[in-house]
Amino acid sequence: MAPVPAPGRPHRDHAVTVTAAGLAACGLRLDIAGEVATVTLSRPERRNAMTPAMWHGLAAIGADLPPPVRVVVVRGAGPSFCAGIDLRMFSAEGVPGEAPPPRPADPGFEGWIAGCQEGYLWLRDPGIVSVAAVQGHAIGAGFQLALACDLRILSDDAKLCMKEPALGLVPDLTGTKPLVDIVGLPRAIEMCLTARTVPAEEASRLGLAELLVPAADLDAAVADLTAALLETDAGTARATKRLLAQAAANTLEQQAAAERRAQAALQRERLARS
């Protein structure tokens, strides 16, 4: 009998090998050029609809990222960034080649979701800055993927939608916290419970984009931002992101103390290297 995964503990149905072929099999492509990794959702004929294998593939990329990588760009091939979960998962036939998800009553159900969430959580690692480059639709799991990144560049044809509640689901791929952090609770409630599509210009006004660019300029904007991020010394960038990431949960005094500790550690490490 197969072991029953513990409730809530991350569980993946199968491991993904981080080779071009292994990633292609779950609809992903990874290009690494020095300090920059580009992860591309590569199922344009299905508008990059996501399956558990794709989430596990994303997690595998995060776990296997070479240490020099400092910037991770996440993008989608074709006209849409991502159309969310592959709706065939809700059909009796399921997605060919994919294990069916456990039933909600199964003890491993929450652990299975935790395994899928691992595909998103690594994008906040202090060692990297993650940038979502979003064109066309970013729906449900796809919107949550954009929210999982530190920064978002939207092309002016981007359309964001937290579709899950309209399908009887809660958003459970780590998107609710960044959404509330960025747009505030009332707007997050409105966006999620109406499941409406938010156009790029409004998304930008709500703070959901650091940059809003014409569709034809998306690649150039990604390249410019990436180059600007790489201008900062790697150790300084990592220490600063770690510091900023804890600011919201700290009191002013705690954060001031964290700043002192971070500065001392950074400068001591620099002295030790010189």
Among 20, 169, 189, 244, binds ligand ACO (CB under 6 A): 169
CB-wise, 125 or 172, nearer to ligand ACO? 172
β-strand partners of 212:
154
Count of chain residues binding ligand ACO (CB under 6 A): 19
Neighbours of 178 (CB within 10 A): 20
86-94, 119-127, 210-218, 231-239 -> range binding ligand ACO (CB under 6 A): 86-94
56-64, 69-77, 112-120, 134-142 -> range binding ligand ACO (CB under 6 A): 134-142
Find, among 184, 182, 189, 185, the residue nearest to 162 by Cα.
189
For residues 135 and 80, what is the distance between their CA atoms, to the nearest angstrom? 6
Q: Please say whether the dihedral angle defined by the alpha carbons of residues 60, 174, 89 and 112, taken in this order, is positive or negative.
A: positive
Find, among 151, 109, 112, 121, the residue nearest to 134 by Cα.
151
CB of 156 to ligand ACO, least distance (A): 17
CB-wise, 66 or 168, nearer to ligand ACO? 168
Among 56, 70, 163, 238, binds ligand ACO (CB under 6 A): 163
CB-wise, 81 or 122, nearer to ligand ACO? 81
Find, among 74, 95, 91, the residue nearest to 26 by Cα.
95
Among 4, 6, 15, 167, binds ligand ACO (CB under 6 A): 167
CB-wise, 169 or 189, nearer to ligand ACO? 169
Burial 232-255 (b: 16+ CB within 10 A, else e): eeeeebbbbbebeeeeeeeeeeeb
Tell me which residues in 46-75 interact with ligand ACO (CB under 6 A): 46-47, 49
| 136, 79 contact by CB (below 8 A) | yes
Q: Could you say whether residue 140 binds ligand ACO (CB under 6 A)?
A: yes
Residues 6+ apart with CB under 8 A from 63: 122
The first and second tokens of residue 259, run together, are 């700043």
CB-wise, 65 or 160, nearer to ligand ACO? 160
Residue nearest to ligand ACO (CB): 140
Q: Could you say whether residue 87 binds ligand ACO (CB under 6 A)?
A: yes
Q: Residue 174 belongs to what H/E stretch?
A: none
CB of 140 to ligand ACO, least distance (A): 2
Q: Is 3 exposed, middle or buried (0-12, 13-18, 19+ CB in 10 A)?
A: exposed
Q: Could you say whether residue 88 binds ligand ACO (CB under 6 A)?
A: yes
CB-wise, 1 or 92, nearer to ligand ACO? 92
Q: Could you say whether residue 196 binds ligand ACO (CB under 6 A)?
A: no
β-strand partners of 154:
134, 212
Residues near ligand ACO, by CB under 6 A: 46-47, 49, 79-80, 83-88, 137, 139-141, 163-164, 167, 169
